[in-house]
Each structure stands twice: as C-alpha cells, then as structure tokens.
Amino acid sequence: MSGGHASSESSTRIEQWAPELERIVSASEPIQHLADGFGGNLGPAEGPVWWKEGHYLLFSDIHNNKRMKYEPGRGVTVFQEPTNRANGLTRDLQGRLVACEHDSRRVSRQELDGSITVIANSFQGRRLNRPNDVVVRSDGCIYFTDPWTSPAAPEQWDLTFSGVYRVTPDLGTISLLADDFVLPNGLAFSPDEQVLYINDSRRGHIRAFDLMPSGMLAKQTDRVFADLRGNEPGVPDGMKVDTEGNVYCGGAGGIWIMDRAGKKLGRIMHGAPATTNLAFGGDDWQTLYFTSRNHLGSVNVKIAGLPVPAQKR
C-alpha cells in the first residue's frame, strides 16, 4: 500500500459546470491520493465511514476480506479480519458499526463488546442476495440495498429481485420498500430526512422518494433525480449529502455534485478508476473521503457533510 500525495496527473481535476460549485469546492482544490493497493477480482475498496471520536476512517477491502483503518498523518493499517467480505459500512445511533456482508448475505451490527448481532439476513423466509450499502435514520431505522447481481446462476439465490429494505430499530420488522431497481446501490437521506435518494448502477441514475411519516416510501413521488451516465468509466455507486442538501455521488469519470434540485454543479475527477463510495470526515466534517477500485483519496470541501451517526431528532 503506497502513501498519500496530492496528484499532479492531468486527468485529476475538478470540473466546474455551474458557478454554484464554488460555494462547495474550489476548482483549484488539491485532490489527495492517500493510499492504494486494495481490492481485486472479488471486490474493491468500499464503504468508508468516519470515526470522529478516534479521528480515523474505516473502510472495506472486499477482495482481501479486511477492514482497513486510515489515520491522517499515519497512513493505513489493518483494523479487522476477516469481515465476511463486508461492503458498505455506517454507524447506528449508539455509534456501533453496521456492515453489509457479502459472504454471509446479511446486514450485521458489531456491539461495543465486539459481538455480532444480525440485523437482517432474510426476507419472508428467503435469504437476502448480497447486501450492498446501508444508512441509519435518526429514528434508528436501518435502510439498505440488496442487489440481485448474479443472473447467470439464478439457482444460487433465494430471491429473484433486487430489493431496498427498512428494518425497525428493535430489529423486529423488515419491510420491502422497492423491488423495481435493476441494481440498487448507494442511498442517502436529505438533511431533513424527508427524502431518500437511491441510485441504480445499471440504469445510471439516482431516484428520489419522499418518505411518509411511517418511514416507508411515498411511491407516487418516485422521480429521477439525476442521470450520471457518461463516456468515462464509472457508474452511480456510493452517495452522500451535505448539510445544505447537495448530493455527492460516484458516476462516470468521478464524483458528481448536484444541488438539492438535481442541478449538476460539477465533478471531482480524481484519476482513479470507478468511484465506489464516499464519506465525510474530519473534525468539521469537511473532508470528503472516497474509495475506488483499489484506492483511497480525499478532497477538502467548504460545506460540512451530514454527520454519522445521525443526530437524534
């Protein structure tokens, strides 16, 4: 794993498509390449999540079945292994680590004593596919995506669709929110938690849904928020939102930034192949970390990201 530096590659730049981008990130802001050498055929670097009280970032190395730890100024070390080839990570309201595990086909929670609690591993008696990414709302409900990724071997899978799910805080009820995505991937809430953004990697766009008081999707509000397709490598993947409602998402060529109305403001072209996920971090939540196929990097922004764990309302 190599150490970090500010890239000088010509392919590394911040494209400004609208003047509003300047309030978020300067086009001249350096893009930091922090470490590489992760990932492989069985999966990339993924799932970054900031640990504010420890001032470090955790992220998944899916291929090597490890959870990595990045400490600013110190570099990357192995934090935990094995991880059941965990992908997306977040924290619940108590600060516990929540993980989407590929090998075990479940969403799990690591308790403060190190033991593991299963959040979800089945729906209506059928095993989940391969949970991908997860977020926790301020009411404690857990939302996650579960794409059906192996049509070539359907006999290996219990479910025949890609799902988006919600689990209640007591883990007693799992609800299917949507089953009409081809490959649901990243998901994120608006700052007021009244909108849930979910992207579809196969279709190349982000969809947005208003949330009902119950926390379920108001299906009649389903709309395409932004199309992130392009000629460069990359599809919609990990996604985050800042405190002003701007949406950041991996897409063709890098990290796309949209305002709360879906207007495309610009793109962070970090030069690494295929952005896989994002996390805000730092003491002020103004460092945007990103993972790619085998790489970890960051860029400083001017607007704080939404903190993790979510703040109780």
Work out the number of other CB atoms within 10 angstroms of the CB of residue 170: 7
Q: In what order do the strands lie in the sheet with 254-258?
A: 13-16, 264-269, 254-258, 247-251, 239-241
Q: At 181, is the secondary structure helix, strand, or coil? A: coil
Residue 140 tokens read as: 């404690």
Q: Are the C-beta atoms of 242 and 280 separated by less than 8 Å?
A: yes
Q: Are the C-beta atoms of 83 and 67 separated by less than 8 Å?
A: yes
Distances 63 to 18, 30, 86 between C-alpha atoms, Å: 38, 29, 9
Q: Please, what is the Cα angle at 201 between 123 and 293, to 5 degrees? A: 105
pTM across the whole model: 0.94
Question: pLDDT at position 151, please?
Answer: 56
Q: Are the C-beta atoms of 254 and 291 separated by less than 8 Å?
A: no
Listed as ranges, residues in the chain with pLDDT below 50 are: 5-9
Question: pLDDT at position 8, please?
Answer: 41
Work out the number of other CB atoms within 10 angstroms of the CB of residue 286: 17
* Residue from 213, 153, 265 nearest 251 by CA: 265
Q: Rounded to an integer, what distance in angstroms lies between the CA atom of residue 47 and that of residue 49?
A: 6
Give domain 5-300's CATH number out of 3.40.50.720, 3.90.78.10, 2.120.10.30, 3.40.50.920. Answer: 2.120.10.30
* AA identity, residue 60: S
Strands 116-120 and 174-178: unpaired
| Beta-bridge mates of residue 288 | 280, 299
Please write the tens of the pLDDT for every residue from 131-168: 999 999 999 999 999 998 765 566 667 998 999 999 99
What is the rounded radius of gyration, in angstroms, for the C-alpha atoms of the chain?
18
* Residue from 11, 96, 47 nearest 240 by CA: 47
Question: pLDDT at position 177, please?
Answer: 98
Sequence ranges of the domains in the chain: 5-300
Question: pLDDT at position 38, please?
Answer: 85
**Would you list the DSSP string of 220-286?**
GG-EEEEE---SSS--S--EEEBTT--EEEEETTEEEEE-TT--EEEEEE-SSSS--EEEEESTTS-
